[in-house]
Amino acid sequence: MAPATYSRTCAACHALQFDKRLPDAVPHDKPEVIHPFVVAKLQAYIAAHPSDLRVPRDPSRDLPEEPIPADFRLLTPPQWVAERTAEDEQLLWRKTCKQCHTLVAREGAALPKVAPSNITSRYMPHANFDHSLHGLVDCVSCHATAATSQQSSDVLLPGIATCRACHHAGAEAAESRCFECHTYHDPARRKPAHSNFSLAGLFNGPAIAGHEK
């Protein structure tokens, strides 16, 4: 089963917009790729909107018993970009990206590390089932509720009764002997045999211990 991908499965609902001033969304990539993207977009924005360098005071952030700050702050473009980058990445790391990913803070590193996704791609790990050999049958023949399932917790694997619809005794049936579904010896784990016998020695030489010629 192919794992879900962001572009095909998630993007329609989970947008990666990072700043209310910009319509752009960050790429679905590592923080090392996202960070320079955010910085470049903010630098282009403030170059086109220099009036935003005058940042008015937000009364809702005034703290009790603390001096009231000035009505506005006048920032330089690098200061403005640095502050907005910090705010936007807080949104990304703590909310947007964290909805689907585990982000791990690294000591001495400014950017977090995204833990590898653990997506189940094989639901029967000990089986060697091959979908390509069943291409003549439509999917719902074996997975009857796949087209209507809405929950990831639904188990859509067919039972053995579905397999027996084709795999049974008879001239017109598919192979049904045990080896068709079960592998008793893993060929990948076999150990090579070492011997000094030649073919002629095996058939014409002295008896091998425990066996007659």
The predicted pLDDT at position 27 comes to 95
Average pLDDT over every residue of 156-176: 89
Three-class SS state of 170: coil
pLDDT greater than 60 at residue 167: yes
pLDDT tens for 118-165 read 777 777 777 778 888 888 888 888 998 888 888 878 888 888 899 999
Model pLDDT, residue 37: 97
Cβ-proximal residues to 61 (8 Å cutoff; 6+ apart), any chain: none
Amino acid 79: pLDDT: 96
Looking at per-residue confidence, does 133 or 37 come out higher?
37
What are the pLDDT digits (tens) for 4-34? 788 988 999 999 999 999 999 999 999 999 9
User: CB under 8 Å to 47, separation ≥6 — which residues?
Assistant: 77
Give the residue among 46, 16, 48 at the shortest CA–CA distance from 33: 16
How confident is the model over 47-94, as pLDDT tens digits? Answer: 999 999 998 877 777 778 777 777 788 999 999 999 999 999 999 999
Q: Which of 35, 167, 156 is nearest to 89 (CA)?
A: 35
Closest CA to 93 of 32, 24, 20, 6: 32
* 206 band by pLDDT with thresholds 50, 70 and 90: low
What pLDDT does residue 58 have?
78
pLDDT score of 208 more than 60? no
Neighbours of 142 (CB within 10 A): 18
What local confidence, expressed as pLDDT, does residue 178 receive? 85
The pLDDT confidence band at residue 185, using thresholds 50, 70 and 90, is: confident
pLDDT for 213 beyond 70: no
Angle between helices 31-48 and 77-91 (to 10 degrees): 140
What confidence score (pLDDT) does residue 93 get? 94
Mean pLDDT computed over 103-128: 83
Q: Which of 96, 95, 121 is nearest to 28 (CA)?
A: 96
Which residues make Cβ contacts (< 8 Å) with residue 75, sequence separation at least 6?
53, 54, 55, 83
**Do 3 and 119 form a contact (C-beta atoms < 8 A)?**
yes
- pLDDT-based confidence at residue 212 (cuts at 50, 70, 90): low
